[in-house]
């Protein structure tokens, strides 16, 4: 059979494909252990060292390489991502809840929200910068940039919640209402626990998208830099292996975040299963 | 969707009054999201179109309507050439992401029938997205540079004697970088569509004597077309709005429309930046409309 020939060939191809995806990371990881401060961002490795990691954490002795402005910009990015996460998840859940009913203008509203993830960041950033300059509003990461970030993450939260509500058995809500439980209490005690895995995914999406968002932030955040902007500002100058060490650290951080998400997800699934078993008994 | 509408319809039949109350509460729930998108997306986009007709003075823009900025754009060779560069890079990256991604999608979607393995392969493709986009772009510099990993490996293997300098700070490096970053958006939708193909159809075709290429052309590709279109839309939208990859990997030699916007905003030439923004929006709308004509996504998905 051909598939007997084809399958191994494709398997090798996929392995090469993954190498293509991961190659730069491997190189980045290796070069982050370059000797410092003289070692440059290229091969060969002069001597293995953790200098650039110390440099990032501010532990290295002062040298001609100025430290990345990470501390404060990291704080700004995390705060901004958190604000964006909460706002877009709340708005997304509300909008998806509204979409369970039929109403006029449903399609228009759908496209309006989804448009936020289609329009390129550079245009959204430009537009909000224009609005801000012409109306005299000052641009900050926590105001104008925050608004554009939610424009980007809200559609993701909305679509995730829409998918969750699609598979949602609304008879449990009806049972709760018919037992005289108020709608808001029903939402808190019945609906929300059931949609919680979706909410968690929406939060994860919103946080990571905002945390890494760059093109929207560039024009709309004013003078105080967020983390991606701090990295971008190193593009024009000479790069040093400290940016690679930083890349390794942020990847580890992302994995930590992903682990927290996976654990929370597992706990909520397990709890749902326990509740289901109790009900069965 | 059908489930939701049918249950709400049943409720509505019982109590016609609840329909109005129902849609009223829907509007209340929807209002914050719609207001947010209108204020921070629709208004800014309208502002770009409006400001592109404003008068630009040295540091300011005034709301006196003029076509000056449009004329500046279309009479400048530099700007026009960046328009062609954008279109060229977009088309090339569209082709490379498809060509590089399609075999992977075939393997993941058709040949791996084990769901767990399928999911893990897709997760493996997505993991790179957990590193900052900008650092992912920068990581190509030590790969492609004159003393980069690729040149070292090729020289050690004896394939070349001189390092290839054309790898970095050229069109090629921008295309390689963009392909690596965006190819997953092509693989995902295609693999999804391929995974839905009934294996019996392929079996039947094989039993009737069709070879793999014929099956690929007559069955697999047509059935995967909606995935290709969705992937192409993702890639197009992202590549057309790009400027960071070309800034990092072309050494300012490749100027996309996005780069023009960035430099114009940097020198406070808001009106010209807006003109470029409108042109970019128009191109994008045309591309999406064109791609949607290829297949009727609503019917296919």
Tell me: do A112 and A52 sit in the same domain: no
For residue B301, pLDDT over 80 is answered with: no
**pLDDT-derived band of residue B238, with 50, 70 and 90 as boundaries?**
very high
Collect all residues of chain B within an 8 Å Cβ-Cβ radius of residue A133: 61, 270
A8 and A128 belong to one structural domain: no
* A111 and A6 within one domain: no
**B146 → chain A, closest CA residue:** A42
Q: Is residue A146's pLDDT more than 90?
A: yes
Instruction: Give tens-digit pLDDT for B107-139.
Output: 998 888 788 888 888 888 888 877 888 888 888
- CA–CA dist B1, A110 (Å, integer): 13
Do residue B130 and residue A170 have CB atoms under 8 angstroms apart? Answer: no
Does residue A257 form part of some domain? no
* Measured distance CA(B170)–CA(B109) in Å, rounded: 34
Same domain, A213 and A188: yes
Q: Give me the residue from A25, A31, A166 closest to B1, CB to CB.
A: A166
Q: Which of B241, B96, B77 is nearest to A214 (CA)?
A: B241
Interface test with B, best of A123, A210, A229, A236 (most B CBs within 10 A): A123
Question: CA dihedral in degrees (A209, A211, A215, A218; nearest 10)?
Answer: 160
Are the beta carbons of A154 and B61 separated by less than 8 Å?
Answer: no
For A108, A118, A158, A195, B33, the CA distances from A112, given in Å and listed in that order, are 6, 10, 12, 24, 9
| Local structure of residue B167 (DSSP, 8 states) | G
Of A79 and B119, more confident: A79
Shortest Cα–Cα distance, B77 to chain A (Å):
23
Residue A19 in contact with partner chain B when CB distance is under 8 A: no
The shortest CB-CB distance from A228 to any of B41, B134, B274 is to B134
Residue A76 and residue A215 in one domain: yes
Contact A99, A106 (CB under 8 A): yes
Average pLDDT over residues A144-150: 95
The answer to whether residues A18 and A48 belong to one domain is yes
Sign of the four-CA dihedral B43, B44, B49, B50: positive
Gap from A246 CA to chain B (nearest CA, Å)? 9
For chain A, the domain total comes to 2
For residues A88 and A168, state if they share a domain. Answer: yes
CB nearest A123 (choices: B37, B139, B281)? B281
Give yes or no for a contact between A172 and A194, defined as CB atoms under 8 angstroms apart.
yes
Alpha-helix runs per DSSP H in B107-167? 115-126, 133-138, 140-144, 149-156
In-domain check, residue A180? yes
**Whether residues A100 and A193 fall in one domain:** yes
Q: Do A43 and B48 touch (CB under 8 A)?
A: no
- Give me the architecture of the B77-300 domain, per CATH: Orthogonal Bundle (1.10)
Residues A145 and A83 in one domain: yes
At A270 the three-state DSSP class reads helix
A81 in the same domain as A22? no
Contact A94 B30 (CB under 8 A): yes
Instruction: Dump pLDDT digits (tens) for A101-145.
Output: 888 888 999 999 999 988 999 999 999 999 998 898 889 999 999
Spatial distance between the Cα atoms of B64 and B160, rounded to a whole number of angstroms: 60
Domain ranges of chain B: 77-300
First to last CA, chain B: 13
Cβ separation A18–B124 shorter than 8 A: yes
CATH at A110: 1.10.3720.10
Which residues span the domain enclosing A213? 70-233
Residue A275 lies in a domain: no
Q: Which whole-number Å values give the CA distances from B103 to A10, A16, B110, B194, B233, in the listed order?
A: 7, 11, 10, 11, 19
The whole-angstrom separation of Cα A225 and Cα A73 is 6
**Residue B117 contacts by C-beta under 8 Å, 6 or more apart in sequence?**
none
Q: Does the residue A273 lie in any domain?
A: no
């Amino acid at each position: 059979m051909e598939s007997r020939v084809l399958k191994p060939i494709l398997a090798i191809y996929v392995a090469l494909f993954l190498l293509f995806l991961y190659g730069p990371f491997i190189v980045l990881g290796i070069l982050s252990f370059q000797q410092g401060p003289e070692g440059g961002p290229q091969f060969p490795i002069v001597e293995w060292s953790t200098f650039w990691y110390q440099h990032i954490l501010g532990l290295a002795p002062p040298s001609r390489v100025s430290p990345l402005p990470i501390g404060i910009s990291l704080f700004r990015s995390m705060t901004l991502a958190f604000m964006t996460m909460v706002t877009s998840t709340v708005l997304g859940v509300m909008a998806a809840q509204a979409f369970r009913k039929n109403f006029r203008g449903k399609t228009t509203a759908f496209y309006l929200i989804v448009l936020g993830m289609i329009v390129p960041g550079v245009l959204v950033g430009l537009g909000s910068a224009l609005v801000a300059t012409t109306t005299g509003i000052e641009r900050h990461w926590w105001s104008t940039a925050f608004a554009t970030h939610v424009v980007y993450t809200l559609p993701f939260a909305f679509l995730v919640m829409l998918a969750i509500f699609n598979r949602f058995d609304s008879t449990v809500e009806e049972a709760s209402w018919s037992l005289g439980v108020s709608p808001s209490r029903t939402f808190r005690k019945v609906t929300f626990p059931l949609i919680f895995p979706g909410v968690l995914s929406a939060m994860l999406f919103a946080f990571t998208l905002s945390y890494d968002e760059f093109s929207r932030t560039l024009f709309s955040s004013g003078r105080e830099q967020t983390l991606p902007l701090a990295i971008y500002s190193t593009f024009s100058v000479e790069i040093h292996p400290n940016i690679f060490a930083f890349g390794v650290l942020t990847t580890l951080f992302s994995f930590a975040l992903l682990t927290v998400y996976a654990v929370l997800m597992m706990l909520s699934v397990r709890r749902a299963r326990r509740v289901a078993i109790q009900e069965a008994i | 969707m059908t489930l939701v509408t049918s249950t709400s319809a049943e409720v509505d039949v019982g109590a016609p009054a609840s329909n109005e109350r129902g849609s009223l509460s829907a509007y209340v729930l929807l209002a914050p999201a719609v207001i947010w998108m209108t204020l921070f997306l629709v208004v800014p986009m309208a502002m770009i179109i409006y400001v592109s007709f404003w008068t630009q003075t040295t540091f300011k823009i005034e709301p006196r309507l003029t076509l000056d900025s449009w004329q500046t754009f279309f009479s400048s060779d530099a700007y026009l050439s960046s328009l062609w560069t954008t279109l060229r890079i977009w088309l090339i990256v569209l082709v490379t992401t498809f060509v590089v991604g399609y075999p992977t999608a075939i393997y993941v979607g058709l040949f791996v029938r084990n769901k767990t393995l399928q999911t893990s392969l897709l997760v493996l493709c997505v993991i790179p997205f957990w590193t900052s986009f900008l650092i992912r772009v920068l990581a190509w510099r030590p790969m492609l540079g004159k003393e980069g990993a690729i040149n070292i490996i090729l020289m050690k293997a004896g394939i070349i004697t001189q390092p290839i300098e054309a790898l970095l700070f050229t069109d090629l490096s921008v295309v390689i970088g963009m392909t690596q970053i965006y190819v997953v958006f092509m693989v995902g939708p295609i693999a999804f569509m391929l995974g839905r193909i009934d294996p019996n159809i392929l079996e039947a075709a094989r039993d009737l004597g069709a070879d793999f290429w014929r099956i690929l052309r007559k069955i697999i590709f047509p059935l995967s077309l909606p995935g290709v279109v969705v992937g192409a839309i993702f890639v197009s939208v992202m590549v057309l709005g790009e400027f960071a990859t070309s800034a990092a990997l072309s050494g300012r030699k490749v100027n996309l429309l996005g780069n023009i916007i960035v430099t114009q905003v940097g020198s406070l030439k808001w009106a010209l930046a807006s003109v470029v923004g409108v042109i970019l929006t128009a191109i994008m709308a045309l591309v999406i409309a064109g791609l949607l004509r290829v297949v009727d996504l609503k019917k296919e998905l």
